[in-house]
Amino acid sequence: MAVITSVEVFMVMLEPKVRREDAIQAFVCQETPFVRITDSDGAQGLGYSYTIGTGGPAVLSLLEKTLAPALLGKEADEIEQRWRELLFLTHATSVGAITSLALATIDTALWDLRCKRSNQPLWIAAGGAQSRIPLYNTEGGWLNLSTSELVENALECQENGFAATKMKVGLSVKEDMSRLRAVREAVGDNFEIFTDANQAFRVDEAIRRAHHYEELDIGWLEEPLPADDLQGHIRLSQQTSVPIAVGESIYSALHFREYLQQNACSVVQVDVARIGGITPWLKVAHLAECFNIAVCPHFLMELHVSLCAAVPNARWLEYIPQLDTLTHQPMQVENGYGLPPSSPGLGIDWDLRALERHTLPGSYQRLTR
């Protein structure tokens, strides 16, 4: 083992590849905090998280002023201990998005460092349960797209070997059903269609819509209600055959426990950045496994492909390419499946010059022991 001698913090700004709108918001910019950790042997790990356009400076400030200084001189390989120390250090601001995103940035860097030191890819070091994960495409299903565009995109996904697509919902019931029906008729019955409401509905509206969606054999209804409405999700789950998916807006493993214990969901979409890193992500995935519940994580496909491959209950990986401008090679896709990288570490082939070009001016800070 080796102690941490320096921590670098910086922010990269990315524009979405396409216009992305859902029922409650637009994805206008990806603020991407990064942390590079160097140990006393000279080994390095690079980690990151993200926002969809707000809060990034707060994450960066928490990293610079509180979390990064607490890492200096500590053993890099004691990841569980580091995570718990930092969580306790920020207990007055937990549970919440800003703290979780900051913790995730550090935790992913520590896992990258550990895997590089042991010469293992993340998916092997974290479990090695699967060698490929089926993909579903969200990029062609945004709410701002017309029905003809949705159909065209779904057919293109099908032609490229994908077995599923996801469509945003949140227009009127009539409009949503018309769009969903058009896609179902185009792709046939042997193609999964998932839906995502982005927390837009109240309980009565979610129940009503779920009954309509049953007609089209929808694969799941994602985030139908605000994530903190546990009782609402229980009611909804009891009144529909459509699987209910939650997780991208849940920031604590204990909150996932409540959902699972109360039979409030059928699919867990734990997000590695929003849960606080790889360390808690694996705990949630294995907790879901104990309830015989599938894990289908939200966004960050370049990182989640390795985590999905690490656990046995990962069923789908969300396809939204976002890091292509920052990497030499994109995530490997073969016949509609995402393949975990074989290189040591997170396996993301970063283009360091591109990272420098996209770094927000004035955001770089380096702390040393």
In the 3-class helix/strand/coil scheme, how is 272-331 assigned residue by residue? Answer: CCCCCCHHHHHHHHHHHHHCCCEECCCCCHHHHHHHHHHCCCECCEEECCCCHHHECCCC
CB 283 within 8 A of CB 252: no
Sign, CA dihedral 297-133-220-260, equals negative
65 is catalytic: no
- The chain-wide mean pLDDT, for the chain, equals 96
Task: Using a pLDDT cut of 90, give the percent of the chain over it.
Answer: 92
pLDDT of residue 19: 74
Average pLDDT over residues 104-110: 98
20 pLDDT more than 90: no
- 68/10 Cα distance (integer angstroms): 12
- What's this model's pTM, rounded to 2 decimal places? 0.96
- pLDDT tens, 160-212? 999 999 999 999 999 999 999 999 999 999 999 999 999 999 999 999 999 99
Average pLDDT over residues 142-146: 93
Alpha-carbon distances, residue 240 vs 213, 221, 234, 264 (angstroms):
9, 10, 11, 12
With tokens 């949503």, the residue in question is 176
168 is catalytic: yes
pLDDT of residue 290: 98
pLDDT of residue 68: 98
pLDDT of residue 24: 76
Query: Quick one: pLDDT band at residue 4, thresholds 50, 70, 90?
Result: very high
pLDDT of residue 94: 86
pLDDT of residue 16: 78
- 159/178 Cα distance (integer angstroms): 23
Average pLDDT over residues 35-53: 96
25 pLDDT more than 90: no
Task: Using a pLDDT cut of 70, give the percent of the chain over it.
Answer: 100
325 pLDDT more than 80: yes
pLDDT of residue 168: 96
CB 247 within 8 A of CB 318: no
| Catalytic position from the list 168, 233, 255, 304 | 168
- 106/336 Cα distance (integer angstroms): 31
CB 311 within 8 A of CB 295: yes
Average pLDDT over residues 318-327: 93
pLDDT of residue 158: 96
Average pLDDT over residues 302-309: 98
| Catalytic position from the list 116, 233, 255, 298 | 298
CB atoms within 10 A of CB 258: 13
- pLDDT tens, 121-137? 999 999 999 999 999 99
